[in-house]
Amino acid sequence: MTADVIAYLAIGAAAGGFINGLSGTGTALFALGFYLVVLPPTTSVAIVALMSVLVGVQGMWIVRASIFARPDRLLRFIVPGLIGVPLGLILLDRVDSGTLRIGIAVFLILYGGYFGFRAALPSFSRPTPIVDAVVGFAGGVLGGTAGVSGALPSMWLSIRPWTKTETRAVLQPFNMIMLITTVTLLFFRGAYDGTAVTALAVTIPCGLVAAQVGVMVFRRLSDTGFRRLLILLTLVMGIGILLTELT
């Protein structure tokens, strides 16, 4: 492994780890572009998925009290999401995933651009267990079909007037479960070969350290600041997906 390859892997891991520690999502968005420069697509996805799971443990630990306080709320997202992932994989052979990702990207850009710079953030306070389940299911389907399981949950949770720990206590475990499913499927497809293992030896330490920095910044954010961060992250996520598909 050359110095250039190590540098790309380290920078990608640092960027992805930091945003994961900060927001609980977005690792692939910030890391994958660096990995794809020096590694094949399947290996890149396998690395970023496993790294996301490992660095995400730190983020889940800091909101563990909120997770155990409302497990029913979390399960409303996760159970339908797990049902949606296999359906998404079935649809993968029947739909144009590239066109789907472009459509999702445009939607994220419009949403993030419109709400991200408004003085007053949108707020939807009443309990919505059915909508939560639909969002979780749709996130699972989109994860299996287009690899963007966190897009819709991020949008939906950003307009809920919950505390930052309550929001993260749903978003991060949801992403973790979807990613663990992805890692398992990739493992059985043989994606974790010698090249992937060597790359993980570089990316995991860098990602873990960067995630700690992100967690420290997260602790300093206000509840409103975290909600605004999620909305702006949807904008960045949309731009990143669109650029990936167009280039």
Encoded tokens for 65: 């009290």
What does the alpha-carbon distance between residue 77 and residue 3 come to, in Å, rounded to a whole number? 42
Q: What is the pLDDT of residues 88-145, one digit of tens each?
A: 878 766 777 677 778 888 888 888 888 777 777 777 788 889 999 999 999 888 877 7
What does the alpha-carbon distance between residue 181 and residue 149 come to, in Å, rounded to a whole number? 11
Q: Which ranges of the chain would DSSP assign to H, the alpha helix?
A: 3-23, 27-38, 41-62, 64-69, 71-91, 97-116, 129-146, 151-158, 164-188, 194-220, 223-246
Q: What is the pLDDT of residues 71-92, one digit of tens each?
A: 999 999 999 999 988 888 787 6
pTM: 0.82
Q: What is the predicted pLDDT for the residue at 13? A: 93
Environment class of 237 (CB within 10 Å of its CB; exposed 0-12, middle 13-18, buried 19+): buried
Environment class of 193 (CB within 10 Å of its CB; exposed 0-12, middle 13-18, buried 19+): exposed
The domain ranges of the chain are 3-246
Q: What is the predicted pLDDT for the residue at 147? A: 66
**Per-residue DSSP letter, 122:** -
Q: What is the predicted pLDDT for the residue at 234? A: 86
Residue 173: pLDDT band (50, 70, 90) is very high
What does the alpha-carbon distance between residue 9 and residue 3 come to, in Å, rounded to a whole number? 10
- Specify the 3-state DSSP secondary structure of 40: coil
Q: What is the pLDDT of residues 12-26, one digit of tens each?
A: 999 889 988 998 887
What does the alpha-carbon distance between residue 175 and residue 54 come to, in Å, rounded to a whole number? 12
